[in-house]
Each structure stands twice: as C-alpha cells, then as structure tokens.
Chains A and B, each alone.
Chain A
Amino acid sequence: MKDTTTIAAIATPLGNGAISIVRMSGDNALSIAAKLFKTSSLKDFNDAAPKQAYYGTFKNGKISDKCVAVYFKAPNSYTGENMVEFQCHGGVRLTSEVLRSLVDFGARPATKGEYTKRAFLNGKMTLADAEGVVDMINAESIAGLEASYRLMNGDIARTIDSIQDEIIDLISGLEASLDYPEELEEDVKRNGVDVIKNVHIELKNLLTSAKFGRYIKNGINVAIIGIPNIGKSSLLNALLKRDRAIVTDIAGTTRDTLEEKYEVEGIILNLIDTAGIRKRTDDIIEEIGVKKAVKVAKQADLVILLLDSTRAMNEEEKHLIETYSDKRLLKVYNKCDQGIHPSISKDDNIFISALTGEGIDALTKHIVDIFLDNHLDNTGNIITSERHVDAISRALDSIKSCNYSIEDAPIECTLVDLRNAYSSLGEITGKTASEDIIDRVFARFCVGK
C-alpha cells in the first residue's frame, strides 16, 4: 500500500537555476529520505539531527546528485510535520527525477496548496494567512481538476476517457450479472478477459508516454552513434540543414560530442553527435571521446545507429546493437545514393543519404512520430503530470491484479480491482463510478422484473 500521508513537491520555481529544492512532508519523510540519501557524516540518515545540513549523495538507479539534505522534526517545521528538504543541483530534469524517486519510494506528489494547507491544519499559520489559503484553494477549484484535465494534450485525455469507458462497460456487465443472476443471459465474464488485456496494454503505453512527457520540456536526447567515418557528423549537419560539425573523410574526426537543439513540430530534439566508436584506438583524446560517446548514448532517450547501406553489418556494429538493446534504437543506413546491399531488408530500415539529403525529412518525421505516437503530454506541467503518472500506475497495478482474478477469483473480487482502477483514473478525469455504473447496467442490459 502506498503511503498517502507523506507528500513531496519541488519547492523552487521550475527552470535552470543553480539550485532547486525538493521537499517532503509527513510521517515517513525521514525514512524515505534515508533510503535515497547517504552522507559520510552519518551511518544512516534516519539518525539525522534536526535542522542540520548534511552534504551527501542522492542516488536512485541512474540518478545521482551531490546535494544537501536537511531534516526538520515535527512540530518544528513549515507544515508542523516531519519534513526533509533536498537542495540539489538545478535543472528541471534532475529535479523532477529526484521528485519521482521520492514518489517511487512511497511519497505522494503534493496537490496544489497542500503544504500550506497542512501548515494551517497543524496550527503553524495565523487566521489571516488561512484566509489566503481558502482563496488559493478556491481559485484552484474554479480552474480545478477539469480545467487542468482539458489543458492536457487531447490525445491523452481521449485515451484515458476511452480506457475508463472500457473499464466501466466491463464493470456494468459484471455488476449486472451479480444483481440479475436469473435474468442476464450474456456471458459477460468471458469477454472481460480480453477487455482487461486491452486495458492493461493501453495503460502501459500511457505510462510509457507519460514518462516521455516529462522529457519533452527539455527536449528528447537523440544520440547518433556508429563506427568511425560512417557519416554521423554529416547526418547532424543534414538534419540541422547547416554545417555545424566538421566533416572530413578521416576516420575519427569527431573527438568530442557535439550537441545541437533542433525544433520540429513543436518538439525539441537535442541532437548529439558522438565520436565514432571503435574498440582500439591509439589516440588518447579519441579514446576519451569514444568513452564519452558510449556514456552519452546510454543516457539518451533515442539512439540512432548509423550504418552503411552499401555493405552488410559488421561485427562491431552488431555488438553496438547488443550494447544498446535496452534502449530505443533506430537503425539508419547512410549512403543509400550509392546503392543498397542485398543483405539489408528494405522493409523495416530507414535509408538516407547525408550527402544528397535523400530521406532526411522522412527520418525527422519518423523520430517525431515515435514520440507523438506515444501521446506525449507536452503541456510541461511537471507536478501535474507527476500526479497523473502516479494515478495511472496505481490503475495499472489494479488492472494487473485483474488479469489474475478474472480467471481465478469470484466476480465481486475482480470488481474490487476494476473499481479501484476506475477511481484511480478518475483522479485525472474527475469521473467517479457510482451512478455511472448503475446507468450503464440499465442502458445495456434488459434486466429487471
């Protein structure tokens, strides 16, 4: 069970400032922090002294940041509850990853005004301040859930709507079979297996896209990799439609990574040209470049592996595909103006010529499509979307449990999960189940004496 009493939020304005503050409030603030933050001055951050700044490392999987953490013990904190503040390096991406880590470990993204509300409820504010809180929350209620919902990308809104629709259709069928066992002739349970599988896939996709949504504001990092002299820098120039990188036919010309922003259909692509990757190099500077290229590619959202269309893939290139098997990887064949080797399938590969510009627009469109197809939430409201991600993953958990229960447990048990899934999504759309279910039962089934 997720702990709902501990909340987390980014306290400083979003943007690329030097320092950002992420804070947490609630019973488990300290224990969640201790799981993620290590400092050399303490064995365990659970033993932290209140109001003291600790320098250490915030680490969760790939994210790692040197930062300062301060623990405030209830009631001597802003909210009057246990609080932990992380002063980490600025930058939207890092800050929101820190927030997401706290959520992964049991905190809930705070709603607007929740800190102030808690502060007031715990007697930390005066009456005059409280009036302000009422106004603020009220302002939110007018803009409210629905407004932020409408502001969301139309695709996401429609997808969640239609998922909720599928769920409630199934709920109403199952409910009808419980309330009208003698009258309902349709086999509603059998069809449920398929519906649940569908919804499961849809929610998973949604979650993936929601995660991508977080990157949108800062751009999608696209790393171009390949063995030396395959035309990576030419591709960068072709995509940018100007000469940014130095292009020669000497292998290993690019020694450092080059990064360029490039906007297409409202989406920012951070194109990263890397040094050609080869196993052995005598040049120390080139070797550093290669190492950096590997690292950059590992962190990118999308990796373009550039290949030569006039020959079959070599061992080194096959190795690269394996190295990046956990990444979203696009195989692009350069030099298509010089012909296509018979071993290369024309169907699922992309062919370009960085030299003539052939296929470049198609490649750009392809990259954008990969992300647009995932219904990117490009409104960029990271806190809101953090809450949405949270709601969607809870819905997904409930649906996962349905996968099992629809086969093996009684209908009323599956309904517990289905209703939980519906109400989790309802936190985004504002739609609640109660009357909807009854309405559907009678709209869809001929039941009643």
Chain B
Amino acid sequence: MTNFSEVLTNENNFSNISAKDNVFDTIVIGGGHAGVEAALATARKGHKTLLLTLSLDAIAFMACNPSIGGTAKGHLVREIDALGGEMGLNADRTALQLRMLNLGKGPAVHSLRGQADKIAYHHSMKNVIENEKNITILQSEASEILTRGGIVTGVKTTLGSIYYAPTVIVATGVYLDSDIIIGEWRDYTGPSGFKRATHLTKSILSLDIPVRRFKTGTPARVDKNSLDLSKMTVQNGDDKIYPFSFMTDGYIENKCPCYLTYTNEKTHKIITDNIHRSPLYNGSIKSTGPRYCPSIEDKVMRFADKSRHQLFIEPESLLTNEMYVQGMSSSMPHDVQLLMYRSVEGMENVKIMRYAYAIEYDCIDSLSLLPTLSAKHIKGLYFAGQVNGSSGYEEAAAQGLMAGINAALYLEGSEPFVLGRDEAYIGVLIDDLVTKGTNEPYRMMTARAEYRLNLRQENADVRLTPKGYGIGLVTEERYSRYLKRKNAIEDIESKLSRSISPKEYGALFTAKGENIPTNGLTYEDMLKRSNITAGDLTEYFDELSSLDKRAFAEVETRIKYKGYLDKQNANIKEFKKLEERLLPDDFDYLSLEGLRLEARQKLDKIRPRSLGQASRISGVSPADITVLMICLFKMKGD
C-alpha cells in the first residue's frame, strides 16, 4: 500500500520502532465472535494480523445464551461456513445437542439450532486462532485508532504502545463504556464480570463517527442441583440431522438435554408488584432495548393477558452445573429476581449463581458504514459485530467474516466483496444495517429476507462456496466437497427427468392413493405431487435407491418449490435491475438540483452503492430514483 508506506516513513515515531513487531497488515480490536472471524479471514488470506483483546479468557465467549443458530441465525452459520468461516465448525466441535426448528414448514425455513458447551466453545476457538500462523494475539486495551489524512494507520493501546497497520477492524462488541444494571445497582464493567473498554468511544467520536447507546440483557444462571427437573419437560436434541458445517461428517451425538417449564400468575404478580423497582420502568435505563429479546418484566407488562411464558433451561457446559434460564432475562433487583425465579415450577428451591442483568453499551450508527463495513470517510477502517448495533453471535460472526474479507481485498487492491439481498442472509443483514440503520440491537429474522425461498440452509454451499473459493478463503478440500455435491445434484436432476410408464409407477401411485394417468411420467412430475416424496421414489424405484440422500433432498426442494421459486425469481429480476446500476462513490448529491432536499441529505449521508440500495433508504422516493437514473445516464454521456 503506497499510502500506508508513506505514512510509516513520514511518521516521527517510526524511527523508534526497533523491530517489525509493531507493523501488521491488519489489527482487529476485540476477540469475540466478530473479531475471531475477521482475524481468521485476513490471516488465512495471508495477511499478518494482530488480534487485540481485553481478556484472553473472553475469546469467542458466549456471554448470553449457550446456543448457536436458530431461525435465520442457523442460516447465517451455514453461510459463514460455506464462505470458509469458522463458526459452524466450532459449533459442531462443541455441540451438546442439535435441533432442527420449523420441520413442520417448508425446507427454506428449516433452521438448525445447537446447544454449545460455552467453555469448550471458547477453548476450541482460542485454540484455532492460536494455531493460525498469521495471527498474533495480545491482551491489551486499544485506546486510540490512529489515522492520517483520512486513512487508518494503526492503533494505540492504554499501555502506550503503537501498532501500525493499513487496516483496522473494530469488533468491540458490548464492551465500550458498558454498564451492568441489576435493579438499583449499577456496575461499570463489561458482560459477565469482564473488564470494559473505557477509551475507545472517545477515539471513535473524534473520527466523526456517531455513537449511540443500546441496551440488552441476560437471564440468571442457576445451579442445576437446585432444580427439580422431574417437574419440567425434557427436550432432547434431534437424531440424525446434518450439522452446521458442510465439512463435518456424520451426525452430532446428543450429549445433554434441555428442559421446558413456565412462569405462572404468581411470577407475574411478583413482577407487577415490584415493577417500580425495575430500571426499565422507573426510568433509570433510557437506552434502546431489543423488542425481540424482551425482559420478563416487558413480557408481563405488555402482554398482561398471557397467563404463562415459556422458559427453556439450557446447560451452559458439561464442565459446570450452571444452567441458563432462557425467557427470563431481567434487570430487577436481586431480591425480586430470587422471588420470581422461585415461583416457577421446578425452581422452588433454585439457587441463583449469577443474577440476571441488563447491560448498556456504546455502539456506532451503522449508517456511517459502506456495504463493505468500511467507515465511509476513513480508508482501511472497518467495523463488525455488536459495535454496529446488531445483536447475536451469528450476526456478529457474519459481519466479522465480511469485514475481514473486505479488509484483505482492500490490502490486495482487489474489488470489494458485497453479497446481495438475493444471495445470502449475510447480504440482507449488512444491507439493512448500512442502508436502513437500526434503532435497537438488530436481530436476523427470516421475515427480513424477502427472497428467502432461495436462501436455504441446504443450498448455502451452492450459493456461496464458489464465491469463497474465488476469494481464497475456501480450502481445496471444502471446494472439492462442494463440487462433489453439485455434481450429485445435477446427476439426480438428470435422472429425474427420465419418463417411465404407468406400469412401472402404478404400484407407487396405488399405494399413495393417486389416480394413475394413462401416459408416461417423469420422476420429476411425480415429485410435484404433494404426497409423493423423494423417500417414496427411493423406496419404489431401484435406479434411484442408491442416490445421495442429502443431494436428493435438495433436488426435491427445488422441484416442490418450483412455482414459488419462479415467482420469487421474477421479483429478484426486478430487484436486480436497480441493484446492478452502481453509483459513483464521489457522487455530489447535495448539489443535485433535481432532488428534494431530504433525499439529497439522506443520499449524501448514506452514500448508497447502487440505485437499488438508494431505493431502500427511507425518505428516498421512486421519483428521486428516476432523477438519479437520469443523472447517471447524463454523466456517462458527458
């Protein structure tokens, strides 16, 4: 990088650098789920990477629920995996049980969720990055992001050391000036008793990046030995479901169950009687909390007619008795918490080991980022994860991976890598963050993905692995697995196009109560019928009996969904027309006379990459888009 070398040679401090120890290609601030994916991506692409963390014991730490995946999040994990990320592999290595949600619905919304051993998860991921040859890990607090003339040059730590790099990825999670709140008590720490970061907010503000304050929360951890599990419903994992990673062979062993119980009227009365002591309701928490992750007091107050709420008791790890009480996050004072928890069936004598708490933290306005996750006006500076206002490990990891990839591509002087809303949940996630912004911690939902029939867990590899291979993150082994699967799918598709006579399929149709037509049918025709499945075909027809089951299921999905996929593809075609018309980075919106003032300001602030992105900005009308289109054309003409 010419610019960066100039900075280094001109930098007064440079003469003081005794060794090349202080010079990196990338510095990642934060070792959470975003930070580790970012560091692995740059390092695996051959760039010397420094990972700064407040605590080595918090690497890939699961500060909230001990699970990975779930609706839409499971899709993100598969996509991260298909692109060559680590989360899926690590989740498989440390899974306690896996469940496939939404099996009663169509395959596009089947979502994998796994309980992970949080201690093992941390250890395993720490091990992966420690053994990555291009990563240097250092426990040290970043205090300042260094820039010169609009380009990033490095990071200063609280110890006074300076590390130089032409790219910096900020992945500080919820650690920026965070406060923990339990009732009337407020503590100035990060999550789970870890140290917080107290300097970096100021540095970010000084770079003209707006900072906001968000809030989230976590339930209590309780002692398993104090629970009467016999009063709860056991929830085992599902047998024989495909794990997160396309690289993991076989099935995951069911190691440990979860338990289901419910709150009751007594619980709700304790909450309403003490609502004046809740910081969420007495005004001492003013920041924005997520609607999809409501505290139990929120649920009780907002949905007063519900007589009970579900609680899932989940194991934190095989190495501890701590259990996570999903559904009961709270910021009530500790004495009220104990009353609340003890009112629940099976928890009459519960011993709380860690109280539930709310956490407030600083994050940036994600509208100040480009779709590459780079800051708009500072070259080489990237942001990823909860610091961008998102929530969830999977959302963080996805951004970390994308920021890492784009930092690496920038270092290499290559074109950036941006996924479309029609290509991946990752594309939807990042587009939402940088185009619409968010006023609460952003959670991925399948409802946000308008083209979700195409964005299935099971085709994540087909959608993304070739792209990951092109970028250089996907290993040869992963790529050859993908090719094998792709060939299997194509092979099955051609086999299914063969037509057979009524004589041959009569037995199947009779068994299924279908009228037997007089003409020949292809296997594909048969699969289009709602009560004939791939399983039936394998059972009745020898030539299909030995096909790869997983590939066959994917083909079955394509056939059964076809009518709807066609409708969706028509929508995608319309969507792409605008998406493919790119806007120049330096477009002068403010002096564009044809546009309304509001549109000019919004466009100038968000600086969309394409006309499509521009059309999703609130306050930009279809007529504004037409004006832009005309201006674009005019510029080309000139």
Contacts and interface: CB of A to CB of B under 8 A. Distances in A.
B326 A449 contact: yes
Contacts of B203: none
Interface stretch (B149-157, B382-390, B564-572): B564-572
B512 to A, nearest CB: 16
A446 B530 contact: no
Contacts, number: 128
B627 A179 contact: no
Contact of B105 (A138, A140, A178): A178
Given A141-B627, A181-B101, 6 more contacts: A175-B446, A178-B71, A182-B312, A411-B109, A412-B109, A438-B445
A419 B101 contact: no
Contact of A419 (B291, B292, B450): B450
21 contacts: A117-B630, A127-B634, A133-B630, A137-B623, A137-B626, A141-B596, A141-B624, A145-B623, A178-B102, A178-B109, A178-B446, A178-B447, A179-B447, A416-B568, A438-B445, A438-B448, A446-B299, A446-B302, A448-B291, A448-B294, A449-B293
Q: How many residues of A sit at the interface, in one of the four size bands?
A: 35 or more
A74 to B, nearest CB: 17
A412 B108 contact: yes
A180 interface: yes
A265 to B, nearest CB: 36
The 5 closest A-B pairs by CB, nearest first: A141-B623, A410-B106, A134-B594, A175-B447, A446-B303
Given A130-B634, A181-B71, A412 B452 contact: yes
B31 interface: no
A243 interface: no
B623 A448 contact: no
Contact of B630 (A1, A130, A180, A410): A130
Contacts of A373: none
- Best-surrounded residue of B65, B104, B109, B530 (most CB of chain A within 10 A): B109
B622 interface: yes
Contacts of B564: 409, 413, 416
A189 to B, nearest CB: 10
Contacts of A416: 453, 564, 567-568
- Best-surrounded residue of B290, B616, B626 (most CB of chain A within 10 A): B626
A135 B594 contact: yes
A121 B630 contact: yes
Contacts of A117: 626, 630
Contacts of B453: 412-413, 416
A260 to B, nearest CB: 44
A442 B291 contact: yes
B356 to A, nearest CB: 12
Given A134-B594, A138-B594, A145-B622, A120 B630 contact: yes
Contact of A410 (B65, B105, B623): B105
Interface in B594-623: 594-596, 616, 621-623
Contacts of A182: 101, 310, 312
A444 to B, nearest CB: 10
A144 interface: yes
Contacts of A409: 106, 564
A141 B621 contact: yes
A89 to B, nearest CB: 34
Contacts of A438: 445, 447-448
Nearest to B235: A182
B452 to A, nearest CB: 7
B495 interface: no
B292 A411 contact: no
Given A141-B596, A416-B564, A438-B445, A179 B72 contact: yes
A120 B633 contact: yes
A435 interface: yes
A26 B71 CA distance: 43
Contacts of A419: 450
A4 B627 contact: no
Contacts of A413: 106, 453, 561, 564
Interface string B544-568: 0000000000000000010010011
Nearest to B309: A446
B630 A448 contact: no
B354 interface: no
A441 B447 contact: yes
Interface in A180-196: 180-183
Interface in B294-342: 294, 299, 302-303, 306, 309-310, 312, 326-327, 329
Contacts of B108: 412
Given A117-B630, A138-B594, A412-B106, A447 B292 contact: yes
Contacts of B326: 449
Contacts of A263: none
Interface string A286-300: 000000000000000
Given A138-B594, A138-B627, A144 B570 contact: no
- Best-surrounded residue of B108, B574, B630, B634 (most CB of chain A within 10 A): B630
Nearest to A433: B450
Contacts of B631: 134
B48 interface: no
Contacts of B450: 419, 434
Given A135-B594, A144-B623, A448-B291, A411 B101 contact: no
A420 interface: yes
B310 A183 contact: yes
A182 B101 CA distance: 8
A144 B291 contact: no
B108 to A, nearest CB: 5
Nearest to B616: A434
Given A438-B447, A446-B302, A140 B630 contact: no
Given A127-B634, A130-B634, A449-B329, A138 B447 contact: no
B436 interface: yes
B622 to A, nearest CB: 7
Contacts of B312: 182, 449
Contacts of A417: 567
Contacts of B567: 416-417, 420
A441 B445 CA distance: 11
B627 A134 contact: yes
Contacts of B616: 434
B102 A145 contact: no
Interface in B113-161: none
A448 B299 CA distance: 9
Nearest to B629: A121
Contacts of A411: 105-106, 109
Nearest to A146: B621
A412 B630 contact: no
Nearest to A398: B567
Contacts of B306: 446
B100 to A, nearest CB: 10
Contacts of A145: 621-623
A250 interface: no
A137 B595 CA distance: 10
A437 interface: yes
Interface in A377-392: none
B71 to A, nearest CB: 5
A438 B292 CA distance: 10
A215 to B, nearest CB: 30
B315 to A, nearest CB: 16
B291 A142 contact: no
Nearest to A4: B574
Interface string A332-357: 00000000000000000000000000
Interface string A415-426: 011011000000
Contacts of B299: 446, 448
A283 interface: no
Interface string A91-130: 0000000000000000000000000010011010001001
A332 B291 CA distance: 61
Nearest to B599: A141
Nearest to B106: A410
Nearest to B596: A141
